[in-house]
Amino acid sequence: MKRDLYDDDHEAFRSVVAEFVDREVVPHLERWDERCLIDRETWLAAGRQGIVGLAAPEGYGGGGGVDYRFRAVVMEEFARAHATALASGFSLQDDIAIPYIVEIGTEEQRRRWLPGMAAGELIGAIAMTEPGAGSDLKGIRTSARRVDGGWVVNGTKTFVTSGIQSDLVITVARTDPEGGARALSLFVVERDMPGFGRGRRLKKIGLRAQDTAELVYDDVFVPAENVLGEIGGGFGQLRAMLPLERLSIAVHALAVSEVILADTVQYVRDRRAFGQRVADFQNTQFELAEMHTEVGIGRVFVDRAVLALNAGELTEVDAAQAKWWAADLQNRVIDRCLQLYGGYGFMLEYPVGRAYQDARIQRIFGGTNEIMKQIIGRSLVGRP
């Protein structure tokens, strides 16, 4: 099926990204997995090439942030190289951290942080999840208490992507102990603030090169100028920014699904069993036919969502549908592809094995797929 999402400008940019990936990414993937950390120099090189910071306006050194198709190109090229952990880190920067500052931050905050983020010099993160609070934001216990000149933050966060390397952490904290719809606020906590510490670097079953950590806030003084948005507006601000994050997950899921499926087609053509190619078995052809069709259908929906985002028309429900469907599809396709590899699919030397590990988190972060279905369902029948 012909794909009409991109024009010549996007394809020219793809050439730049592909060259960057071949030069700055592919040679280092194995070492990053062993270290469980991606080189800071890679971020700086991406900044120089204009591959990170696409969401920042041009006036702050970024790519303009008006056409999400350029971000989709980056994710597709990272998927081609099986650089899933790096894709996750860059998605956090461009689809979460930078948009929060662009959309919610003050002009002073934009001038202070966006140029460094667009250059890859400042790595952003967001700290929402806590040991006792995941998708349920009402369970957040990290607190912020008003003092002269700012706020004092106390608490613990976990599952923080880029938690070790991050320089700016958008932190969700409770500013109203009584609760309610306006209980939460956002604070930008900077690396060297006294009392702000990194806990364990968490060991994960996938995305090994992506540093994920616990963060500890022990009487961290956050000046008033680091409040992001309106005090008490945190829940609404988070909700407004989540559709972009969820679309990012969907775009990445489709890109990985397509690459793994293409790899599998080539593998079954080359692999022989019982005197013939694995591709010649009827079951293999039926499996490939079903996956090819499902991925094609998913591609149409996700491409349409990208265009809706560009037009300012992407809804919370659209993003939820794209996220849960694409994440489920990714896991389903990779599992079926791995089966066609036989025992070799279980070996990490094959990309399908690593993709199997990395895919599982897609159904959890950005809001679990069960939460996505609840959002969709409530849009159909109303809230209780």
> Which residues are known catalytic residues?
245
Please report which helix (H) or strand (E) contains residue 135, including its range: none
Residue 29 vs residues 287, 328, 351: alpha-carbon distances, Å = 30, 26, 12
For tokens 């700086």, name the residue. 44
Length of the chain as a residue count: 384
Per DSSP, which regions of 25-167 are E strands? 124-127, 143-147, 150-161
Pairing of strands 272-273, 196-201: unpaired
Quote the radius of gyration of the chain (alpha carbons, Å): 21
Question: Which amino acid type is present at position 257?
Answer: S
Which among 156, 163, 157, 144 is positioned nearest to 226, based on CA atoms? 144
292 burial via Cβ count (<10 Å: 0-12, 13-18, 19+): middle
Contacts of residue 383, Cβ cutoff 8 Å, sequence gap at least 6: none
Token pair in block for residue 384: 């209780």
Helix (H, G, I), strand (E, B) or coil at 174: strand
Contacts of residue 349, Cβ cutoff 8 Å, sequence gap at least 6: none
Contacts of residue 146, Cβ cutoff 8 Å, sequence gap at least 6: 175
- φ, ψ of residue 8 to 5 degrees: the values are -60, -35
- Spatial separation of the C-alpha atoms in residues 162 and 95, rounded to whole Å: 14
Q: How many CB atoms lie within 10 A of CB 49?
A: 15
- Spatial separation of the C-alpha atoms in residues 135 and 246, rounded to whole Å: 14
Q: Dihedral of the CA atoms 91, 92, 97, 99 (nearest 10)?
A: 30
- Spatial separation of the C-alpha atoms in residues 43 and 62, rounded to whole Å: 14
Contacts of residue 316, Cβ cutoff 8 Å, sequence gap at least 6: 239, 242, 243, 375
